[in-house]
Amino acid sequence: MATISIPEGMNEKEYYETVVSEEEFLRWYKEQDHPTYENPSVTTDMVAYCFVEGRLKLLVIRRKTHPCQHRVALVGGFLQKHEDAIQACIREVQEEVGLRGASAAANMIKPDVCFVVDCSPANDMDGSKTSNGRLGEGFLVRLVDRTMVLRPNMREKLVNLAEENEIKYQYYTSPGGTDAGNIHQAVNGVPTAVIGISGRYIHTHNAIFDIRDYYAAKAILGKLIETIDEKFIEDVRK
């Protein structure tokens, strides 16, 4: 088997999904261990359109990874057990067009501070100890994604609180986004942080996470609630 040279800072999965040809990706993909999906597994594809100045506009996404990298596709995803097709359509479309519900909630509640809890893709299948998102290594402190950069003073508060209470954590970056992207821009700006948990095969019926990471996220959220006062809010707003 030929030796591959993966760029520094990129794991094997990211390399094959974004750098190599689709043919090379498919060869690699067939050799991987994959979760067994429940049968039947149902996916939905949405045709969302509108008319603008008399012209038909269709909502599509451009795929960032293989297969079909850089090509456009309809919005779609797995139908979850608790929802029907209409609910799945609403959820998937809202996720793609800008987290509308998060903006509405933030402007209605006008929070002093916000902590978003989210599950993020684990990238530890290559076994590297420096992979971005590793099961069993603690809750995620999301530093940056395409919708938000964590404020340094908020990062300092989170990390200090975790270390003082011996709560395991790890730093995380993402090409995606969460509700935090809209919430932190709401009202006059809301100090926001994402408390994450790494999961393999997220958005499927067979997602896997480490229960220790769940308890770490639960612990830091409890400590944050106990700690927040006027000084905390003043400090993270500086």
Catalytically active residues, by annotation: 95
Q: What is the DSSP letter of 135?
A: T
Nearest CA among 96, 101, 51 for reference residue 75:
96
Cα gap 12→126, rounded to integer Å: 6
Cα gap 187→184, rounded to integer Å: 8
The residues, ordered by sequence, that sit 6+ positions from 146 with a Cβ below 8 Å of its Cβ are: 174, 175, 176, 177, 181
Please give the sequence-ordered ranges of beta strands (E in DSSP) within the chain, or none if there are none.
Answer: 43-46, 49-52, 55-58, 60-62, 72-78, 114-121, 139-144, 169-173, 192-199
Residue pair 132/162 in contact by the 8 Å Cβ criterion: no
